[in-house]
Amino acid sequence: MADYFETEEVVREYDSKISGRILSYLKPYKPLVAVVLVALIFSTGGELLFPVLQQRLIDRAVMARFLPLRPGLAAGLGPEAEKVFRELESTQGAVRIADYVFVPQDQNIRFSSRAEKEMRLAGVLESGLWYAFTVTPDALPVMEAHGDLFIREKDSGAIRSQDLARLGAEERRVIRSGDLSLISKTAAILLAILVSVFVFTFIETIVSVLIGQRVMKDIRLELFKKTSSQSTDFLSRNPVGRIVTRLTGDVETINEFFTNVLIAFIKDLSVMTGALITLFILSPRLGAVVLVTLPPVLLVTLFSRVKARDAFRQQRVASSKVNSYLSERLSGVQVVQLFLGEKRSRREFGERNGEYLKANLAEMYVYAIFRPIIDFLSVLTTAVVIAVGANFVLNLSLSLGVLVAFINLVGLFYSPVMDIAEKYTLLQSAMAGGERVFALLDTEEQIPDDGTTNIEESSCSSAGAQGPQSGGEARGRGTKSLVRGRIEFSNVSFSYKKGEEVLKDLSFTVESGEMAAIVGYTGAGKTTIANVLTRLWDIQEGSITLDGIPVAEIPIQELRRAVLPVLQEVFLFSGTVAENISLGLPLTESEIIEAAKAVHAHDFISRLPDGYHTTLSEGAANISSGQRQLISFARVIAHNPAMVILDEATSSIDTETERFIQLGIRRVLAGRTSIVIAHRLSTIRHADRILVLSGGRLVEQGRHDDLIAKNGLYAGLYRLQFEQEP
């Protein structure tokens, strides 16, 4: 069996058109998208605000230190030193106490070594650091006890840092009560930020998942609607497994695009950008140091992306080979066993499984190499920041809090780098899935349904399981069929494949209420007549009319309500027996039972464990083929069409069951136009007209006795079958 996955384009890296079409499904959910974006902004802002508040806490409370300036000695400074002095003096948060101006160190003061040397020589900038504070009533006794250590002016006081360290623990606590209060307030704010980040992240996650699920629902519904309305030609050329994969696996990759790719990319890029901006706000010089370390990160990321793409492609192809082989061999396991193919199958599966293993390992190697490199670069950048930042701290041009914040922000920057690289595979999968989904949605191979000639009129009567009444009630409720049932094929030619005609210039007429039988060798075109009459396929030449109306001019739904075939291969859905008979019609249980009785199915249904409420397994494997056929007949009777086509309807039924079927058919089809396609000629002896096909052409027609007397093709078929029957 051909592995169609191997012939498909496995993946696109990124396609803006596909992304645009995926995002177009967000239009109905704009309010939810707005909620996600707001939650994303607040959660990202909270993560970036956390290290900034840490820096403020360290510099303004834990490590509160001030540079001491003596304004009275600044008269003799040179132009450069005086400019630096004036900038320091006007720094935000500077405190004037007695002859001093104390400048908070957390302002990241920058000045040249020449200006610093000149100010120190002039005594304008003293050595050492001070601690400035607001004097409280509790602090007055401590200041009086150590009067030589403190200076004071009004409500402000100051003490040298080394002298502060000499005080007792309780005395230091009293002097630094303002810092302790600030620490408590900042800790409460940090806790509130953590809780807010948690809440907004939860909202962002749950709402993005909700959006993804709703978008998946919309796409699946659109895909199902599109697929179910496609022509039989399209459905015959596309394996069911492929279409199911489109509606399940490929749609799921689009969900991944919303929940794990799009939102993650936006957040990761926001965090990375915000972290870089914050770094430069805190310290442009140290931010530039971090920026210098980024090119290696970009190169490694680009290289890993290419390798991940190749590994992903190999993995998808290998996975498809394994799945295809498993599906084929497990479906035909009995053939494998009967022809002693177990060893060969194990060998072939082992080869494909080995390829799958290598592909998975190749993908793993990419991340096994990429992650340690990014971790190394992250640690290296942190080490560079610590080395350079420590030098700035010692030179009093950078505070300790800023250095700590930088270390945290570097970690915050590198975490999204690894996340983006890992999400790249999901992005490729989403692009590949989206491409296949939209290719199916863009396929237009529907049977044209532009008929405007109605063959139904509104009615409140119930069809039930009775025989046709005046005009023949259509199956369903609320409509009444106007069909009389005259069918005419005129010079009809049709081919499933171009150049291979199945019907050739075929012409015949079936009068209203007539039972016509169609016989012929396999491949003569018998089933094709049912297909083109119900417009499962459209003819290429000629015309088909129903009561003189071309079937192409009748709305497809009305046509198929009027003409209902019983297919050669019976298909029952998983569900109860009653559900399979009513098949969506709002029938009462008595109407369902009446339909079953009409085809002599009631007796065996009543013997089932739960009667009409017995649940059928997949493919109705828990009942016999003959019983499945009887239920399909009951379904037709319940839907009460104006015309019935029996396509090899008794081919799977034993002689005893066939006897019951014949009794039911004769009673139910009375007054209806019916076409019976059969190989069992014994079932159509009493047909009003027998059409004999050969090679897609009508070669004989007439009643059974007339055709036997004619001693033509039909007589030969009849004798051949009669001789083979026991």
From first CA to last CA, the distance across the chain in angstroms is 39
pLDDT over 70, % of the chain: 88
pLDDT exceeds cutoff 60 at 558:
yes
Identify the H or E element spanning 205. Answer: helix 177-228
Radius of gyration of the chain (CA): 43
Round to whole Å and give the CA distance between 290 and 410. Answer: 8
What's the pLDDT at 677?
85
Tokens read off for 48: 């970036």
Predicted confidence band of residue 660 (pLDDT cuts 50, 70, 90):
low
Residue found under tokens 């309010």: 31
Annotate 421-449 with b (16+ C-beta within 10 A) or e (fewer): bbbbbbbbbbbbbbbbbbebbeeeeebee
What's the pLDDT at 333?
76
Identify the H or E element spanning 381. Answer: helix 342-394
Predicted confidence band of residue 461 (pLDDT cuts 50, 70, 90):
very low
What's the pLDDT at 42?
92
pLDDT over 90, % of the chain: 16
**pLDDT digit string, tens, across residues 80-136:** 888 888 888 888 888 899 889 998 876 556 667 788 888 888 888 888 889 999 999
Round to whole Å and give the CA distance between 97 and 113. Answer: 26
pLDDT exceeds cutoff 80 at 429:
no
Q: 456-724 — its CATH code?
A: 3.40.50.300
**pLDDT digit string, tens, across residues 710-719:** 988 988 888 8
Counting Cβ atoms within 10 Å, is residue 461 exposed (0-12), middle (13-18) or buried (19+)? exposed
Counting Cβ atoms within 10 Å, is residue 315 exposed (0-12), middle (13-18) or buried (19+)? buried
Identify the H or E element spanning 594. Answer: helix 589-598
Tokens read off for 201: 């992240």
What's the pLDDT at 351?
87
| Coil/strand/helix, residue 673 | strand
> Which of the residue ranges 35-39, 116-120, 415-419, 460-464 would you say has the lowest mean pLDDT?
460-464
Sign of CA pseudo-dihedral 246, 226, 647, 503: negative
Q: 4-56+182-441 — its CATH code?
A: 1.20.1560.10
Tokens read off for 157: 């006081």
Report the DSSP beta bridge partners of residue 549: 546
Q: Please give the model's pTM, rounded to 2 decimal places.
A: 0.71
Strand-strand pairing, 456-458 and 515-520: unpaired
Beta-carbon count within 10 A of 659 CB: 12
What's the pLDDT at 185?
92
**pLDDT digit string, tens, across residues 334-387:** 777 777 778 888 888 888 888 888 888 887 887 778 778 888 888 888 888 888
Mean pLDDT of 558-586: 84
What's the pLDDT at 468?
38
pLDDT exceeds cutoff 60 at 653:
no
Nearest to 433 by CA among 7, 105, 6, 11: 11
Round to whole Å and give the CA distance between 198 and 191. Answer: 11
What's the pLDDT at 189?
92
Q: Where are the alpha helices (DSSP H) in 395-508?
A: 400-441
Q: What's the gap between Cα 712 and its chain centre?
A: 61
Mean pLDDT of 542-551: 92
DSSP letters, 49-83, are HHHHHHHHHIIIIIT--EEEE-GGG-TT--HHHHH
Q: Kindly report the average pLDDT of the chain as a whole number.
A: 82
- 82's CB contacts (< 8 A; 6+ apart) are 74
**pLDDT digit string, tens, across residues 219-250:** 888 888 888 777 777 777 776 766 777 777 77
In the chain, what are the domain boundaries?
Answer: 4-56+182-441, 65-175, 456-724
